[in-house]
A and B are shown apart, each in its own frame.
Chain A
């Protein structure tokens, strides 16, 4: 055991030499990057060969995104070299990467929301010019969508801003795989399944396998370790800006990966905790989806964690928003008996105030309580921020820094702090763990359960079946309706998939 462990940790010596293996699509040698005092990358060697799917894992802030920005040409290393197809690139850039056949699907979606799907496709393909470019762009993207996500239900003339986040991600992914005059050798997928449900995520990963089998390459970044273990040929683990392990996927299993990543403790204790809990508190929420005809209600009591499951975009978010609205203005079919706070999943469009500090972003939901007379007390605001920084572990030297100084996972923690630090008795969570690393997730799960024990009610929409383990009760949604109502003991992935696809009227 100890021996094989050492095997994984040891870096492959060949990775140190340029030109030694000229078949590599991309190769970084001793890449370093600093952002102010923060060392994002310290001397990373990394390479991708042809016909290879490299899985890249690590906690938020481990340096994965920084490394990928370098491969994609959106950022340059402070020191170190980058080579593509065996030649060293001196002036590497996004357009150069595009020419050399390297594409990237970043975590923060990059489609223009005001344009339609075909127009967004055109942005990446300068050759789609002249008469009929729109039709050709539409054919290109529709063909790729059909290939990757059969039955996707997206039209090339849909305005991107009107699509659900899951569908936007599908378009983003499909667009990266479209080919016109430039070659395509390597696609970087940074959290490609974060907004997809289990079904579409499966379609995408199957496509990635076909793509790799045809001799092309992929880099797959995902916090869903199972995805990486099942689909990558080789796994590279990063921690604190360094590559700490690189080996064939077969050499790892889930526990092993978590250990190498420096992961948090296992999740057994949670199961025990859940079993210990029982009894029904006072009613907090009773809500019926607008299109529900058969009189089924979603019911949540004090201290309960309620899961909203099913395929992405089947009315879960709509119901959460209806409940959110009902808290301030009475609404037919929805009964809410406590203040409500919402944790957004789509951080950029629903959560973050980009001009503000971390502390201000946390305080906005609790302004009334932070007042001293008529004025907001700076001291109380700082206290609230400090309390939650400690409680939820927001990694920053100063809570007065801008919110964007945080990594994605820590930004999400700040949004959790905003909701949990408020007076809300009901917390709505709109798939908030998108693109958040395992360590952060486990910390937040603990916190959610602890808050529930204190009497808070959680309504938790999630696209990750694993997260439903935390819930007391699960409602499965399909086409805007509740089609199944499971207790924790009845819960299984098969059951949810079955209900999601079943033809319940």
Chain B
């Protein structure tokens, strides 16, 4: 009984419950058909949202106004960079991944530079950066679809008994992110800045460095995501990251991270990502039109924020 209670007190449990409900509703509708396949597909797709979601989570945790809107453009450019460096050859996979990471990290660093040096609010800075990145991407990729090396494509689609290997690796990564958040100086500092940036500065936290690291981390994860997406969907293109603007923010919020900053939730990102993917599958299965799908997704996010805001504030 007490364990149920303590479980219910964890904010991330709700996103998993929601995902479970959606899954059950769908298999009831299909009469049990494709239940396993649905889980596999959900895990494969959720991975990409989780990776950028974690980066976005750290950024949002920095406090009100902090958000990385350059992720879609970043993903697009990094996917092109990765595919070009790999050049279709298996021997260049590692180099391509590194290039994507470096490209993303550079974008993150530039984002912070704009915020810090020019004192532009993060929303404007990352949004305007994303226009620049997109232009670079268009002229760099020339709008062509560049194919991944076969080894890389196979790797991103590799499954062991129905569970995507990429999902397993991402679980490990999120565990690492959780530890970094709660148990490392970096994570503690992010949480401190998000609660009260002035108090954090006066308590000796190196505010500038932590914010720089956080935007760079978010950028690097965006870059990595771009490369993996290009592998999974067998080709890079400019629009490949488009849906991750809304999705990266949605999973953070639905997952129980506070939009006001200072409170983050790593497992919730997983639950929320699975929920979003399964929700989409469910609506598709029900045969709902694309417009209604978007409408429902938007309403659900509003609903979650309202419900989370109804929680009794500490003070």
Contacts and interface: CB of A to CB of B under 8 A. Distances in A.
Mutual binders A and B: yes
Interface stretch (B17-25, B74-82, B191-199, B271-279): B191-199
A353 B183 contact: no
A364 B196 CA distance: 13
Contacts of A367: 185, 188-189
B225 to A, nearest CB: 25
B310 interface: no
Nearest to A324: B202
Given A368-B185, A374-B184, A375-B179, A353 B192 contact: yes
Contacts of A371: 185
A418 B203 contact: yes
Interface in A398-415: 402, 404
B291 interface: no
B195 A355 contact: yes
Interface stretch (A22-30, A286-294, A341-349): A341-349
A365 interface: yes
B195 A344 contact: no
B9 to A, nearest CB: 14
Nearest to A349: B198
A113 to B, nearest CB: 12
B292 to A, nearest CB: 38
Nearest to A360: B188
B5 interface: no
Nearest to A354: B314
B193 to A, nearest CB: 10
B179 A364 contact: no
Size range of the chain A interface in the assembly: 20 to 34
A67 interface: no
Contact of B203 (A328, A354, A355, A365): A365
B148 interface: no
B204 interface: yes
Nearest to A340: B204
B59 to A, nearest CB: 18
Interface string A347-375: 00111111110001000110110010011
A350 B198 contact: yes
A345 to B, nearest CB: 11
B263 interface: yes
A402 B184 CA distance: 20
A354 B195 contact: yes
Nearest to B205: A364
A396 to B, nearest CB: 16
A115 interface: no
B262 interface: yes
Contact of A341 (B196, B204, B263, B315): B204
Given A364-B188, A375-B184, A376-B185, A352 B203 contact: no
A344 B205 CA distance: 15
Nearest to A374: B184
Contact of B262 (A355, A365, A418): A355
Interface in B25-69: none
Interface in B88-127: none
Nearest to B189: A367
Most buried by A among B185, B200, B263: B185
A33 B17 CA distance: 38
Given A342-B202, A418-B203, A422-B204, A352 B196 contact: yes
Given A365-B203, A375-B179, A354 B196 contact: yes
A404 B315 CA distance: 8
Contact of B202 (A351, A374, A376, A422): A351
Contacts of B199: 344, 349-353
Contacts of B205: 364
A422 B192 CA distance: 17
A358 to B, nearest CB: 13
A30 B202 CA distance: 44
Contacts of A404: 314-315
Nearest to A372: B183
B203 to A, nearest CB: 5
Contacts of B196: 349, 352-354
Contacts of A376: 183-185, 188
Interface in A320-343: 324, 328, 341-342
B262 A353 contact: yes
Interface in B195-240: 195-196, 198-200, 202-206
A328 B206 CA distance: 9
B262 A364 contact: no
Interface string B167-201: 00000000000010001110011011001101110
Nearest to B262: A355
Contact of A355 (B179, B200, B204, B314): B314
A467 to B, nearest CB: 21
A-B residue pairs, 6 tightest by C-beta? A375-B183, A353-B195, A367-B185, A364-B203, A342-B202, A365-B203
20 contacts: A324-B202, A342-B202, A342-B203, A344-B199, A349-B198, A349-B199, A350-B199, A352-B196, A352-B199, A353-B192, A353-B195, A353-B196, A355-B262, A355-B314, A364-B200, A364-B204, A371-B185, A376-B185, A402-B314, A404-B315
Given A354-B262, A355-B263, 6 more contacts: A351-B202, A360-B188, A364-B203, A364-B204, A376-B185, A378-B183
